Amino acid sequence: MNISFDRENARTMRPAPDPNLQRKARTAAVVVAVLVLALVLLSQAFYTINEQENAVVVTFGSPAAVTEPGLHLKVPFVQKVRKVDMTIKSFPIGYDINTNESIPDESLMITADYNFVNVDFFVEYRVTDPVKAIYASREPVEILKALCQSYIRDTIGMYPVDDVITTGKSQIQAEIKDKISARLDQEDLGVQLVNITIQDAEPPTAEVLDAFKAVETAKQGKETAVNNANKYRSEQMPAAEAQADRILQQATADKEARINEATGQVARFNAMYAEYVNNPLVTRQRMFYEAMEEILPELRVIIQDGSGSTLNLMDLTGNTVTANSGEGEQ
């Protein structure tokens, strides 16, 4: 009974709660809750876009692209924002980019001449339309990779192995890029192919690889020989052309000299013919003497009578030199 009495006395002795204090506490709790809610709403009302990003704002299921970087406002819990990286991205085909190990299921292909070859590609792409990149398909990058693998195999199968490994790489790359770009435009996935390059192309066996290396070395030797020949031709052509010009000039000069000489001979013949017409005998003698003088310049003519006496001595000019008696010089 005493213990119970003491407890009752203790309860009756506690001070009554202050109504003003309780009201202030409730008010403070409401203010804190409002502040927290306001902070949450403010945090949900703004979003930031970087220089290399675009955003897709979805309002009641309707998407819209936001392309300008900076701070933007949205309606909390009503509008949803998805950010899209607009930078150039890449992925490999035929090998693991981390370990650089070959992936045979992707790299092993067959060529037009029924040879096997391992070809590795590196693909670069970027998003051009963020709305289509998100909503036109579930996995646009996987679709792009599948298209690349399809057109790579189709194109490699149209070329012989020698072109794939050596001389035809640039043409093959360009043809594959054109095909994939046209297909992406047709599908309208919001993704663009920037570039596709052949990283490596080689036969699947070491023996065939050595053979192709030998062929490539021979081709390089051929190109070196051709370049050296072209260099030698470039060095020799000016001298040969100069020599040809000199020969042509000399031939032209000889031609003119011969023409002039022939013209002079014709003039002399015509003049001599005119003299021959007027005085045939004298002209024939003079022509004879001139010919003999040219042929035998030291010859003298001795004229003798029947008894052996010298009657007259003339040189080839027709002038009398001496008239002696007796034996003369023969």
Residues 3-55 have pLDDT tens digits of 454 555 545 555 556 667 667 667 767 667 767 766 666 666 778 888 899 98
Rounded to an integer, the average pLDDT of 293-306 is: 67
Say what the pLDDT of residue 137 is: 87
Q: In what order do the strands lie in the sheet with 310-314?
A: 301-304, 310-314, 320-322
Return the pLDDT at 46.
Answer: 78
Say yes or no to pLDDT of 327 above 70: no
Q: What is the pLDDT of residue 147?
A: 95
pLDDT value for 140 = 92
- Give the 3-state DSSP-derived string for 211-228, with helices as H, strands as E and coil as C: HHHHHHHHHHHHHHHHHH
Tell me, what's the pLDDT at 162? Answer: 85
**pLDDT tier at 144 (50, 70, 90 boundaries)?**
very high
User: What does the pLDDT read at residue 294?
Assistant: 77
Q: Which residue has the tokens 């990003």?
A: 53
Which of 214 and 19 is assigned the larger pLDDT?
A: 214
If you average pLDDT over every residue of the chain, what do you get?
Answer: 81
**pTM for the complete prediction?**
0.54
Q: Which pLDDT tens digit goes with each residue over 112-123?
A: 988 889 999 999
Residue 304 is predicted with a pLDDT of 62
Summarize pLDDT for 174-212 with one digit per residue, the tens: 999 999 999 999 999 999 999 999 998 888 766 666 776
In the predicted structure, residue 323 carries a pLDDT above the cut 70: no
CA 319 to CA 313: how far, in whole Å? 8
Contact yes or no for 129/168 (Cβ under 8 A)? no
Q: What is the pLDDT of residue 279?
A: 84
